[in-house]
Structure 1
Amino acid sequence: MENLGLDPSPGSSPSNQALTRTTLLGCLGLLLALFLFTAVLLVYIALDQNLAAEQHSRLDLDKALQAFDSNARTTLKDYALWGDAYQHLHLSVDLEWAFTRQNFGPTLYQDLGFDGVFVIDPQGRTVYALVAGRLVSMDARDWLGETLQPLVDHARLVAAGGNASSRYLSIAGVPALVVADVLSPGNDPQVRGDAGPQSVLIFVARLDPTRLLALGQGMGIEQLQLAAAGAADGLPTLALPEGAGTLQWQPARPGHRLLLLVMPLLLLAGLLVGLMAGFLLRRAAAAARLMDQQVQALRVSRWALAASEERFRDVAEAASDWIWEVDPQLRFTYLSERFEVVTGLAREATLGLAMDELLSTDQDSLQSWLALPDRHPQAVLQCTYLDGERQPRICRLSVRAMAAGGYRGTASDITEEVAARRRIEYLSQHDALTGLANRTRMQEFLEGKLQALPLLQEPLLMLSIDLDRFKPVNDLLGHAAGDQVLHEVSQRLSQCLRSEDLVARVGGDEFVLVVPGQVTEAEIEGLCRRLIERIEAPFYICGHEVFISASIGIARAPADARQAEELLRFADIALYEAKAAGRSTWRFYAADMKVRIIERRSLERDLRHAIEQDQLILQFQPRYRLADRRLVGAEALVRWQHPQRGLLEPEVFVPIAEDSGLILPLSDWVLHAACRAARSWPGHLLLAVKLSSSEFQRGQLVARINGALIRSGLEPSRLELEVTDKMLFDDSRQVLTSMQGLKALGVRLLMDDFGTGYSALQFLQSFPLDGLKIDHSLVARMHGNDTGRSIVQAIVDLAHALSLRVVAEGVETTEQLKLLHAIQCDEVQGSHLGPPLETAGLLALCAEAAQAAGSST
């Protein structure tokens, strides 16, 4: 811009004008110097007060960080010296205790504010990880990086002095306080420490913006936050230890308040002086002021025009959109430079082209769309085009009509946005692990098919599939192996279906197949047979050969139901029947299944009341030593005196207790009642009690058995617990640990129903058993059957070779008793030797036996 000069205005003579100007300028200079001195002095005082306030807030913040560190180490120490934590997170990793029971669960995040909780075992593995209150499977190095191992080593080093290790780290750009200490049994006498290296417990509390603001507000510090690179000058800062970051805040400004109080008075005095000087110079400066205003207006106008042009150019080229204009014939007359960057096309070559030659829509041509009478003046349209590499791209076109004819607007590239939206839509309808349809997609597919049902007899088929023996895969090989099995199962299921069929994963190991169209019952059974055969084929996972199976429930529409929810429910009922029938099979839904389910639920409800209201009865099956027919013990048998159904055998209600989770309270009742009864027996008699497989999986079996023995006063050596070989296959390591704990109490262990299940020689050698029990079905096949007698003989010989006692149950005839005596079986029980007796009857039998023994002597 050009520089404009001003001519002196006419008025007083140059000498008077010069004298007046000199005098006024001298007075004004003196007053200005005094004003400036006063202002500088006030500013100096204000800055000094601000500096003192800033130092005070820095000291407060430093103390608060020290208190934050101390509190975190104290909290960590409380958890690290917890004997239960040492037992369940170091000696073994019990996720149910730690997370499900919330001992190390979401409260650490919600109440105590720890964003991350990790347990590092002696081998350096992360065995427990809690992030933002959620249980995750991840390595602590994903958060702490290469600082993890030095942190663990330092924690173990300082643990000898009873201290916890703490340091500040930067995690993903956010400073965090990391405290670590070794897990120790503390002063808990019931937990014994091992001799090896100890696991390390790590708590991570991130100083995120929310926490920093709360920390600052607690000390009266405003806007406490993490200082970014290139932070504005003038704000106080505090560097965190270990270079974890720098904090800055808005300090209190007491000096500013002083200035606000005094400066207005000073300014008022200056204003009065200025008004007097202005009055004196008004006439002399009137002409110059007018000229200055005109020149300034011209300069502002020229500057505004240049700034507007520069602003438009910068915005047009810096934006991700490109700007376009077309003439009334819809040919491009202008394209911004951004067009070439976004599209990869040459701008000069595109100018003059018709819009339809570059852009296309799913509707009519652009010319037809722009000509619509009801189109909004600022319409938006989605278009596609080919970029410079001939790849399809998608843009959103905004259009505005120009007064002189033609159109102008912007084009925004939304290719990635559309792809992300399509991906989200896909994920909302499919299972992330297997890629199969999820429950939402299956529900939509099923409802669509049911709404269009033709008048056919069997137009749609639903199969509900649940995997059998899948849980041991997760327990023994880990969830990654389980996920691999589920992924391969989904592929096998898909290979058995047609293109128009649908297979969906609706739960952990639950799948649903929807088969539309007319399908005969023979074809359905053939499909079920193929599905089970494919699933039962071995899986090769992580070097292991894994075997699972499946049970299938079948419901048909419209024969069984026309509503999706009912069809799903009926298929689940049929699936339940298939599982109850022994698994690895299929069942069609029938109306009486629903009745049985209702009856079973009624029994389950009644069983809960029966345990609480003491409707259960104990009977004892006597057991005899075969060599001299001497009574050696009795097996506890539970009966249920139902108010309406009468006396129920355990075969009726024990499976219900297993499925409903009532087996633990039922078993507790039997165990305590039997131990109390056996306390009054002669001291040489044993008490045998059956254990359920679920009791080894949950319920703290060893502690429960020990509690029953202590309360009843029964000697542990008189208690014999009968276990089935099936539970050994479910989780042999956990079962072995429990059995070793039981043996440590002094009780005896007997393998029940030997020869009918999965019995393997390795279990007889590996587990601390005292004997085994031959199932009654093998005993029944001995008479008149050489093969049956040989099997029992082999079992007895095998048990004796392993120094195990052999008990035969279900002895019903004299011939069976003689054969068992001939093959040197140790003990027998059964109806031939006497029926189950209540406590009074068993005591009478003991008295008779003692009297007979006395008379014989």
Structure 2
Amino acid sequence: MPEPSTAIASPVPRRSSVSIIRASVLKFVGLLTGVFLLAGYLVLYLAHDLDRNEETESAFYTQKAVRALEKSIAATVKDYAFWGDAYKHLHTRIDTDWAYVRQNVGPTLYADFGFRGIFVVDAADHTAYSVVDGQLSSVDASTWLKHGLPDLLTQARAGAEAETPTTLFANIGGRPALVGAAAITPGTDPTVTPDDGPPSVLIFVDILGDDRLGTLGKDYGVDELRIATAAELNGPSVFVLGENGVAGSLHWNPPKPGERLLGLGLPLIGIAALLVCLMAWAILRRTTASARALDASYQSLQTSQSALAISEARFRDVVEASSDWIWEIDHAGRFTYLSERFESVTGLTRPEWLGAPMDQLLCTELGTVTQWLSIPNRRPDISVQCRYVDTQGQERITRLSARAMADQGFRGTATDVTEEVESRRRIEFLSQHDSLTGLPNRTRLREFLDGKLKTQPTAERPLVMLSLDLDRFKSVNDLLGHAAGDAVLNEISGRLANRVRHGDLVARIGGDEFVLILTDLKGQDEVEMLCQRLIESIESPIRIGEQEVFVGASIGIAMAPTDATEATELLRYADIALYEAKSGGRNTWRFYAGDMNSKIVERRRLESDLRFAIKHGELRLHFQPRFRIADGKMVGAEALVRWQHPERGLIPPDTFIPIAEETGLILALSNWVMETAFQYASSWPDQLFVSVNLSPSEFKRGSLVERVQRAVQQSRIEPGRVELEITENVMLDDAPGALEIMRTLKRLGIRIAMDDFGTGYSSLSYLRTFPFDGLKIDRSFLSRLTATEDDRPVIEAIVGLGHALSLTVTAEGIETPEHLELLRSVLCDEGQGYFLSRPLDMEGFSALIRVTETTGET
């Protein structure tokens, strides 16, 4: 019987432990390499995204800067075009003397606004008047604007009825230019009747240069805004001017935060990758040595399995290190898997949500997540924004991406984008709201107002607009700084917002100017009651640090449809009423009335005439002599300015001096008075001095010391024969600055006197601190003596105080012999008034000097 054969199984070939370890390490290194490459890519992407965001933001602010420039030229050309005087002198007929010589529409527009070209195109589209670079010219507007002129004229005339100007960008001589145009209309001037023909068009041309653009860019945070060169046109950061870039393009240098990120991030990633490679090399070397020693045993297999488990764990760690969390759901929409990152991102616990419906956690604006996932032919690379509530009760926003699985389920990633969405919302909010107070800005105000006007308010239920401007706010900025001013504005904003109803609007449209749009106010009484409450609320003290600040408010009121039905007109009428409120003493309110506009027109004409009068010799000086009371000798005279208007006759100073102070003409007026008075007084006898009044505003601007010194030097009068009269308002506004100026004037030899002493807040500290040579008792004390003797002790006290401080005391308003005898009895030094002499013109005063020198008497 044959022996059974024995079959021996051949051993199954097995990979060596060394090769397994090397393969595992190499895979691990490859995985880490992929991670570092991904990290590098993310850094590059983030850098590019940062640079792109900066580019977008700077382009946004560049556009805002250009729009602001367009609004500025549109507002300027509107002010000059919609004006009755302009209609009479530039449309009805071309009055070059009014426009150019009197500088109503002439060189000042080049000097003050930088307009290189000014043109008036008549009804036949011929250039009737032009000023180029501040000089009267015969250049035709079509020479400058070429093909764009016909469209510009058409658009300007189309806006005549609504008083709407138009603008366009043009290429003038190879340089971009901003052109503003408006039809010349009488505006609201009741004295001008328009004709039936097409209106003439007023055109302003502003040629943009790199210096102007650079300054504009700085105002809006855009670096090196300039005209783009040919090499820059095809690159980024280019803003096209005009249609298809007909006027050229602008270029700027946006910030590059991405470059700084790359300079820091890539080297760090490279160093980390190098360290990982060194570690992998060291691990490979050690594990290879161990594997060779244990390769023949079963334990080596266990070791390789353990290494594989460690590698898988590392892979899971890399996945969990991602900023996204990974999810899976089954066909019923329930979570079957959530990565550990889910808990750190959302704050929720994984066990609680595994098995829960996905729609219970996440929702979209258009429906549930499962509805979105079931959309037929949905592209897998499209994501959707979802919302959920975290453990703190805050709503969060995540971007969800998903791909279908074979079992009809889905898996994908979720990325938290809450901060990104909030940033976008913040940008949208700031475009329509004031960045300091958070109130709506002018843009939002216009949208709100247009919407309310479309509802067609009635006289029984009008739409009320309040234009509110703070009083005494400038002194807060000047004395406490802009930080305190900002705090005041925020406090006032809150008070205003608390005083209006839901559905009304409070907007900040300027530095300290607010506009309120109100509904459901049924009559004038309710409006006045609200204005009273607003002013009382604003006048309440505001605490800034350790100080209490007090401001007031003036309010102008316009209502639709009673006053106007258009937003532009309503805003303008409310501003006119506000001006009347400020003129009426501030801390009050005024309703718009038709005659207010006439007053504005009249004041504007008076301002224009005053500017012309200063430059063309319509002003006159009268001199009121001042006498020594003890012996009646004339010691000097006070220079008083008079305006002899060619049409209106003699205009009193109390009418045109406030206009000069408000418009800045006070400096030119004061220069003329000083130069004329000093020149005339230089020919008087040496014992006579001349006295000139100064406005408080001259201490704040205009280089007062240099102006006085120049007038003295030009006239060659002795400084000791010059006296400057100032009021105590100078010390109240800025005592340290006024003291320094007065000391400098004293070093020049100029005399200084306090005018109108006793009528305001005059104090002994002023007389002791400030270098006065004399004081003048206000005429009101003498004028009341006929009715009461109560002011006699006051006059005696003022004279005694002046003598105690070695000051010359002068009394104003001496109109009777009794006044003179009283002043002589109390030892007053000097006096002036109608009883002694009326103000005299130059010829009359010269005659008085000759008589005095001949007889030795007054």
| TM-score bin (small chain) | 0.5 to 0.7
CA, structure 1 residues 587+384, in 2 after alignment: closer, same or farther (shift >3 Å)? same
CA, structure 1 residues 527+821, in 2 after alignment: closer, same or farther (shift >3 Å)? farther
> C-alpha displacement at 1:327, in angstroms?
3.5
Confirm whether residue 592 of structure 1 aligns to residue 611 of structure 2. no
1:716 paired residue among 715, 719, 725: 719
In structure 2, how many angstroms separate the alpha carbons of the residues matched to 1:832 and 1:686?
Answer: 21
Confirm whether residue 541 of structure 1 aligns to residue 577 of structure 2. no
Confirm whether residue 832 of structure 1 aligns to residue 835 of structure 2. yes
Confirm whether residue 439 of structure 1 aligns to residue 470 of structure 2. no
Confirm whether residue 765 of structure 1 aligns to residue 771 of structure 2. no
Name the counterpart of 2:424. Answer: 421
Asked if structure 2 preserves the Cα contact closer than 8 Å seen for 1:400 and 1:407, the reply is yes
Name the counterpart of 1:490. Answer: 493
1:804 paired residue among 807, 812, 820: 807
2:579 paired residue among 553, 576, 581: 576
Asked if structure 2 preserves the Cα contact closer than 8 Å seen for 1:458 and 1:559, the reply is no
> C-alpha displacement at 1:657, in angstroms?
1.1
Instruction: Flag structure 2 segments of 5+ consecutive residues without an equivalent.
Output: 1-13, 18-210, 215-220, 225-254, 272-311
In structure 2, how many angstroms separate the alpha carbons of the residues matched to 1:348 and 1:230?
Answer: 37
Asked if structure 1 preserves the Cα contact closer than 8 Å seen for 2:796 and 2:826, the reply is yes
Instruction: Count residues with an aligned counterpart.
Output: 576
Q: How does 1:282-681 map to 2 (within 5 A)?
A: 317-347=320-350, 350-372=353-375, 378-387=381-390, 391-401=394-404, 405-681=408-684
In structure 2, how many angstroms separate the alpha carbons of the residues matched to 1:811 and 1:705?
Answer: 30
Asked if structure 2 preserves the Cα contact closer than 8 Å seen for 1:689 and 1:721, the reply is yes
Name the counterpart of 1:851. Answer: 854
Asked if structure 1 preserves the Cα contact closer than 8 Å seen for 2:460 and 2:522, the reply is no
> C-alpha displacement at 1:832, in angstroms?
2.8
Match for 1:381: what amino acid? V
CA offsets 1:777-798 (integer angstroms, 9 cap, x no match): 3332221322344443443333
Asked if structure 1 preserves the Cα contact closer than 8 Å seen for 2:724 and 2:751, the reply is yes
Instruction: State the SS of the aligned residue for 1:786.
Output: coil
In structure 2, how many angstroms separate the alpha carbons of the residues matched to 1:491 and 1:340?
Answer: 41
In structure 2, how many angstroms separate the alpha carbons of the residues matched to 1:635 and 1:662?
Answer: 21
CA, structure 1 residues 229+570, in 2 after alignment: closer, same or farther (shift >3 Å)? same
Match for 2:634: what amino acid? L
CA, structure 1 residues 318+516, in 2 after alignment: closer, same or farther (shift >3 Å)? same
Name the counterpart of 2:145. Answer: none
CA, structure 1 residues 761+437, in 2 after alignment: closer, same or farther (shift >3 Å)? farther
In structure 2, how many angstroms separate the alpha carbons of the residues matched to 1:455 and 1:317?
Answer: 65
> C-alpha displacement at 1:736, in angstroms?
0.8
Asked if structure 1 preserves the Cα contact closer than 8 Å seen for 2:758 and 2:778, the reply is yes
Match for 2:627: what amino acid? Y
In structure 2, how many angstroms separate the alpha carbons of the residues matched to 1:630 and 1:323?
Answer: 105
Instruction: Flag structure 1 segments of 5+ consecutive residues without an equivalent.
Output: 5-109, 114-130, 135-207, 214-223, 234-308
Name the counterpart of 2:779. Answer: 776
Name the counterpart of 2:845. Answer: 842
Asked if structure 2 preserves the Cα contact closer than 8 Å seen for 1:657 and 1:666, the reply is yes
> C-alpha displacement at 1:615, in angstroms?
2.3
Name the counterpart of 1:10. Answer: none
Name the counterpart of 2:788. Answer: 785
CA, structure 1 residues 402+594, in 2 after alignment: closer, same or farther (shift >3 Å)? farther
CA, structure 1 residues 133+409, in 2 after alignment: closer, same or farther (shift >3 Å)? closer
TM-score, normalising length from structure 2?
0.61
CA, structure 1 residues 640+628, in 2 after alignment: closer, same or farther (shift >3 Å)? same
CA offsets 1:298-345 (integer angstroms, 9 cap, x no match): xxxxxxxxxxx9999788544322333434332334444433442344
Q: How does 1:56-455 map to 2 (within 5 A)?
A: 317-347=320-350, 350-372=353-375, 378-387=381-390, 391-401=394-404, 405-455=408-458
Name the counterpart of 1:92. Answer: none
In structure 2, how many angstroms separate the alpha carbons of the residues matched to 1:853 and 1:542?
Answer: 65
Name the counterpart of 2:138. Answer: none
Name the counterpart of 1:220. Answer: none
> C-alpha displacement at 1:639, in angstroms?
1.9
> C-alpha displacement at 1:746, in angstroms?
1.0
> C-alpha displacement at 1:565, in angstroms?
2.8
> C-alpha displacement at 1:683, in angstroms?
0.9
> C-alpha displacement at 1:227, in angstroms?
11
CA offsets 1:694-747 (integer angstroms, 9 cap, x no match): 110111111211111111111111101010111211111111111111111111
Confirm whether residue 750 of structure 1 aligns to residue 753 of structure 2. yes
In structure 2, how many angstroms separate the alpha carbons of the residues matched to 1:329 and 1:133?
Answer: 56
CA offsets 1:102-158 (integer angstroms, 9 cap, x no match): xxxxxxxx99x9xxxxxxxxxxxxxxxxx9999xxxxxxxxxxxxxxxxxxxxxxxx
Name the counterpart of 1:64. Answer: none
CA, structure 1 residues 704+228, in 2 after alignment: closer, same or farther (shift >3 Å)? farther
Asked if structure 2 preserves the Cα contact closer than 8 Å seen for 1:617 and 1:639, the reply is yes
Asked if structure 2 preserves the Cα contact closer than 8 Å seen for 1:449 and 1:516, the reply is no
In structure 1, how many angstroms separate the alpha carbons of the residues matched to 2:569 and 2:469?
Answer: 18
Match for 1:620: what amino acid? F
In structure 2, how many angstroms separate the alpha carbons of the residues matched to 1:353 and 1:227?
Answer: 40
CA offsets 1:365-387 (integer angstroms, 9 cap, x no match): 33344445586565432222244
CA, structure 1 residues 701+484, in 2 after alignment: closer, same or farther (shift >3 Å)? same
Instruction: Between 720-729 and 477-486, report the one with greater CA deviation.
Output: 477-486
Structure ranking higher on relative contact order (CA contacts 8 Å, 6+ apart): 2
Asked if structure 2 preserves the Cα contact closer than 8 Å seen for 1:379 and 1:400, the reply is no
In structure 1, how many angstroms separate the alpha carbons of the residues matched to 2:469 and 2:320?
Answer: 60
Match for 2:702: what amino acid? G
Match for 2:722: what amino acid? L
Asked if structure 1 preserves the Cα contact closer than 8 Å seen for 2:385 and 2:399, the reply is yes
Name the counterpart of 1:100. Answer: none
Asked if structure 2 preserves the Cα contact closer than 8 Å seen for 1:620 and 1:836, the reply is yes
Match for 2:786: what amino acid? H
In structure 2, how many angstroms separate the alpha carbons of the residues matched to 1:386 and 1:807?
Answer: 81
In structure 2, how many angstroms separate the alpha carbons of the residues matched to 1:644 and 1:538?
Answer: 49
Aligned-pair RMSD on alpha carbons? 3.8
Match for 1:534: what amino acid? S
In structure 2, how many angstroms separate the alpha carbons of the residues matched to 1:737 and 1:532?
Answer: 37
In structure 2, how many angstroms separate the alpha carbons of the residues matched to 1:683 and 1:389?
Answer: 88
In structure 1, how many angstroms separate the alpha carbons of the residues matched to 2:428 and 2:369?
Answer: 29
Identity among equivalent positions (%) equals 56
Asked if structure 2 preserves the Cα contact closer than 8 Å seen for 1:716 and 1:747, the reply is yes
TM-score, normalising length from structure 1?
0.61
In structure 2, how many angstroms separate the alpha carbons of the residues matched to 1:795 and 1:554?
Answer: 46
Asked if structure 2 preserves the Cα contact closer than 8 Å seen for 1:781 and 1:789, the reply is no
In structure 1, how many angstroms separate the alpha carbons of the residues matched to 2:361 and 2:517?
Answer: 45
In structure 2, how many angstroms separate the alpha carbons of the residues matched to 1:488 and 1:389?
Answer: 31
Match for 1:839: what amino acid? M
CA offsets 1:654-710 (integer angstroms, 9 cap, x no match): 111111111111111111111101001111111010101111011111121111111
Name the counterpart of 1:143. Answer: none
Match for 1:636: what amino acid? A
In structure 2, how many angstroms separate the alpha carbons of the residues matched to 1:562 and 1:758?
Answer: 47
Match for 2:385: what amino acid? Q
In structure 2, how many angstroms separate the alpha carbons of the residues matched to 1:805 and 1:133?
Answer: 60
CA, structure 1 residues 616+562, in 2 after alignment: closer, same or farther (shift >3 Å)? same
Match for 1:637: what amino acid? L
CA, structure 1 residues 492+341, in 2 after alignment: closer, same or farther (shift >3 Å)? closer
